[in-house]
Chain A
Amino acid sequence: MRKISDWGNYPVIEAEVNGFDTTEQLKRQLELPGDVIAFGNGRSYGDASLQDRVILTRRFNKFLSFDESTGELCCQAGVLLSEILDVFVPHGWFLPVTPGTKLITVGGAIAADVHGKNHHVDGSFGQHVLRMDIMRNDGSVISCSPTENAEFFNITVGGMGLSGIILNATFRLRKIETAYIKEETVRAANLEEIMDGFEMSEDWTYSVAWIDCLARGDAMGRSILMRGEHATTTDLVNQVHKNDPLTVKKGMHLGIPVNFPNFVLNPLSMKAFNFVYYNKTRPGKHEHVVDYNSFFYPLDAIADWNRIYGKRGFTQYQFVIPKAAGREGMRTILKRITDSGLGSFLAVLKLFGEQESFMSFPMAGYTLALDFPISVKAMSLFKELDAMVADYGGRLYLAKDSRMDAEMFEKTYPNADEFRQAIALLNEGGTRFASLQSKRIGITG
């Protein structure tokens, strides 16, 4: 038995954990009775990969093949996105979609159907998966793709590990000329400006905004819009970069050695942080060339930053509301958050593009993500926010969730019922795939 938790350090549970190197070993684990769930790299925030018995996938992490003519990579599900970047960026290839941390597994990327700053042009990770093999609860392996066993494919992408253990996946990498991003930052004085900013940035491959959730009144929603394109060799000005356009210096790694005491995080310190961050960007537009790590993964440079929230842990509230409800909806919800004064260091705003999918989170609309230290006050705020999000036709991201109830899930995920039935059918006999989350939100019993 070992103590285990996901990224928010809430909840922390005792579980029996086992990894595997071969499908045979995995099969033997699935022959034991009881509930299990796959655990990738524990970068979901809540309890999506937690259960009394957890199957670690990190050791199942081999690259199986790569086709240089098409960029098709086939790898086992425990490979980290960071390992893919380490190997392939120097050869001129990049991930089709990446979330704000590269320390997640391919299995976790598919199970949560993660999105990145390019969602409005390239969709989510699952849309780039060409094929995958999945082990079901009876130990059989099923191959699926958008056309072969498509139903199974569709409930696995965004299915949070409930249909089986993803063994391997094939997806296409994108060609890049350099390891750098041409970035433009634009300061926006309030919510109106930032939303205009997004709508005018639709031609950019990458866009995202950092938003100051503590600013109120006219300044509510003040933010910094960051948009980017993969730099070409001609975009590079620095001679060192020019000489070796596909290698970046290994970043400095800061670590947070222990959990921060609670008093460090208070409304004042957060306000100060947000103020400094906003004001370090001068008004107007700024262009610079940055390496891909600083553009996509600023937080990965600080190892274990989750510890700043202390022992009580934290959660991220990430919701999306449809574009139609967009401006008014965002204003109302954001106002409720800023009024609460509970907001966080990090609030990220993004405009998603269209997405049709069975269980995945994204839909055309605005998504906002904020961290909250766990507290009674925050929990009751979330309840209020849930009602607002549901009213506007939006929903919460399962990969970040550790607290929503079954009713909220049922109301906001249109295929909840069908999904529950499909999972029940798959789970018949022997081991069941279920997480603490799936029990809480009523997908599994």
Chain B
Amino acid sequence: MKNVLILGATSDMAQAIAKKYAAEGWSLTLGALEADLLEPIASDLKVRSGTEVLTFKFDATDFSGHRKCYESLPVKPDAVIACFGYMSDQEKVRNDVEDIRQTIDINFTGMATILSVIAEDFEQRGRGAIAAISSVAGDRGRQSNYIYGSAKAGLSAFLGGLRNRLAEKGVHVMTVKPGFARTKMTENLELPAALTASPEQIAEAVFQGLEKKKNVIYILWMWRWIMLIIRCIPEFVFKKMKM
């Protein structure tokens, strides 16, 4: 039985992804900061699919502990999906040093350190798949959320490099850019329905994407074009836009 390791497993996206993998007959290892929140999630997956589910505490910002944390897992995964992330309200906190650091620590540094440990193991084994949730916000810095966006831009660049390095070693790396998603962060907002993906859609796309060894996926196809257009706007115009 193949095993998938899901990091940040309490998020809505991660839960949907876990369900998808369980339904496909994989066993699961779930890591999250609030490990006690994983209990009902694990029992749910067990009742649904009878699959094995293991949970553990994973702290994205305990960088130096990442190696030990990964090594202590009883099963080495065949695929890893890193879903953890952190977004605060930038307009409120753009001068808050702690919050800026937190944003970069979780979205970038934590991703880079844990995925580096895992990449090393996969490289030695000569197989494995890595997917991480980045964001369309990283495609171009915009005044409304460039702190979060820059951390995600860093993550996207990191994943691109990792993919480049591991391609010939038989290890696949996929970058996921969801766009708007209908999750707990957005449940009180009116989102444009056509541009908003459900966690289930994201889960399906991530699973299929890894099966088909895709490199960078946007969940809804429109986003690829929207971001392409946004990236093409010349800087002297862009800086005057309110985005």
Of the four ranges (under 10, 10 to 19, 20 to 34, 35 or more), the interface on chain A belongs to: 20 to 34
- Could you say which residues of chain B place their CB within 8 Å of the CB of A62? 40-41, 43-44
When A22-B37, A62-B41 are in contact, do A17 and B48 touch as well, CB less than 8 Å? no
The answer to whether A63 touches B44 (Cβ under 8 A) is: yes
CA distance A349 to B147 in the complex (A): 60
Shortest CB-to-CB span from A291 to chain B, Å, is 20
Shortest CB-to-CB span from B178 to chain A, Å, is 18
Q: Does B98 contact A (CB under 8 A)?
A: no
Q: Which A63-78 residues sit within 8 Å CB-CB of chain B?
A: 63-66, 73, 76
* Option from A2, A22, A64 in Cβ contact (under 8 Å) with B47: A64
- Could you say which residues of chain A place their CB within 8 Å of the CB of B44? 61-64
Among residues of B, the one whose C-beta sits closest to the C-beta of A76 is: B40
- Could you say which residues of chain A place their CB within 8 Å of the CB of B47? 63-66, 73, 87
When A59-B12, A63-B48 are in contact, do A2 and B188 touch as well, CB less than 8 Å? yes
Q: Does A146 contact B (CB under 8 A)?
A: no
The answer to whether A18 touches B188 (Cβ under 8 A) is: yes
Among residues of B, the one whose C-beta sits closest to the C-beta of A17 is: B188
Main secondary structure of the interface of B (DSSP, over half): helix
CA distance A2 to B182 in the complex (A): 14
Q: Does B168 contact A (CB under 8 A)?
A: no
Contact indicator per residue, chain B 170-204, by CB within 8 Å of chain A (1) or not (0): 00000000000000100111100000000000000
Main secondary structure of the interface of A (DSSP, over half): strand
Q: Does B61 contact A (CB under 8 A)?
A: no
Contact indicator per residue, chain B 15-47, by CB within 8 Å of chain A (1) or not (0): 000000000000000000000010011011001
Q: Does A56 contact B (CB under 8 A)?
A: yes
Shortest CB-to-CB span from A421 to chain B, Å, is 34
Shortest CB-to-CB span from A19 to chain B, Å, is 5
* Option from B10, B40, B43, B187 in Cβ contact (under 8 Å) with A18: B187
Contact indicator per residue, chain A 8-19, by CB within 8 Å of chain B (1) or not (0): 000000001111
Q: How many residues of B contact A (CB 8 A)?
A: 14
The answer to whether A65 touches B184 (Cβ under 8 A) is: no
CA distance A19 to B182 in the complex (A): 12
* Option from A19, A59, A64, A87 in Cβ contact (under 8 Å) with B43: A64
Q: Does A1 contact B (CB under 8 A)?
A: yes
Please count the residue pairs between chain A and chain B whose beta carbons lie under 8 angstroms apart in the complex: 40
- Could you say which residues of chain B place their CB within 8 Å of the CB of A18? 187-188
Q: Does A3 contact B (CB under 8 A)?
A: yes
CA distance A61 to B200 in the complex (A): 14
Shortest CB-to-CB span from B24 to chain A, Å, is 15
Q: Does A21 contact B (CB under 8 A)?
A: yes
CA distance A76 to B44 in the complex (A): 10
The answer to whether A56 touches B190 (Cβ under 8 A) is: no
- Could you say which residues of chain B place their CB within 8 Å of the CB of A3? 190
When A62-B43, A63-B43, A63-B47 are in contact, do A16 and B188 touch as well, CB less than 8 Å? yes
The answer to whether A17 touches B10 (Cβ under 8 A) is: no
When A2-B189, A3-B190 are in contact, do A59 and B40 touch as well, CB less than 8 Å? no
- Could you say which residues of chain B place their CB within 8 Å of the CB of A87? 47-48
CA distance A17 to B190 in the complex (A): 11
- Could you say which residues of chain A place their CB within 8 Å of the CB of B10? 21
- Could you say which residues of chain A place their CB within 8 Å of the CB of B189? 2
- Could you say which residues of chain B place their CB within 8 Å of the CB of A2? 188-190
Shortest CB-to-CB span from A70 to chain B, Å, is 14
Among residues of A, the one whose C-beta sits closest to the C-beta of B187 is: A19
Contact indicator per residue, chain B 45-57, by CB within 8 Å of chain A (1) or not (0): 0011000000000
Shortest CB-to-CB span from B192 to chain A, Å, is 14
Shortest CB-to-CB span from A366 to chain B, Å, is 39
Shortest CB-to-CB span from A91 to chain B, Å, is 9
CA distance A65 to B43 in the complex (A): 7
Most chain A CB within a 10 A radius of its CB, from B12, B47, B48, B184: B47
CA distance A62 to B22 in the complex (A): 14
CA distance A76 to B39 in the complex (A): 13
Among residues of A, the one whose C-beta sits closest to the C-beta of B48 is: A87
Among residues of A, the one whose C-beta sits closest to the C-beta of B190 is: A2
CA distance A3 to B188 in the complex (A): 10
Among residues of B, the one whose C-beta sits closest to the C-beta of A59 is: B184
- Could you say which residues of chain A place their CB within 8 Å of the CB of B190? 2-3
CA distance A2 to B12 in the complex (A): 20
- Could you say which residues of chain B place their CB within 8 Å of the CB of A21? 10, 37, 184
CA distance A22 to B44 in the complex (A): 14
CA distance A19 to B185 in the complex (A): 10
Give the 3 A-B CB pairs with smallest separation, nearest first.
A62-B44, A63-B47, A62-B40
- Return 18 A-B CB contacts under 8 Å, by A number: A2-B188, A2-B189, A19-B184, A19-B187, A21-B10, A21-B37, A22-B37, A59-B184, A61-B44, A62-B40, A62-B44, A63-B43, A63-B48, A64-B43, A65-B47, A66-B47, A73-B47, A87-B48
Besides the known contacts A22-B37, A62-B44, A87-B47, 10 further A-B residue pairs in the complex with CB atoms under 8 A apart:
A1-B188, A17-B188, A18-B188, A19-B184, A21-B10, A21-B184, A62-B41, A63-B48, A66-B47, A76-B40
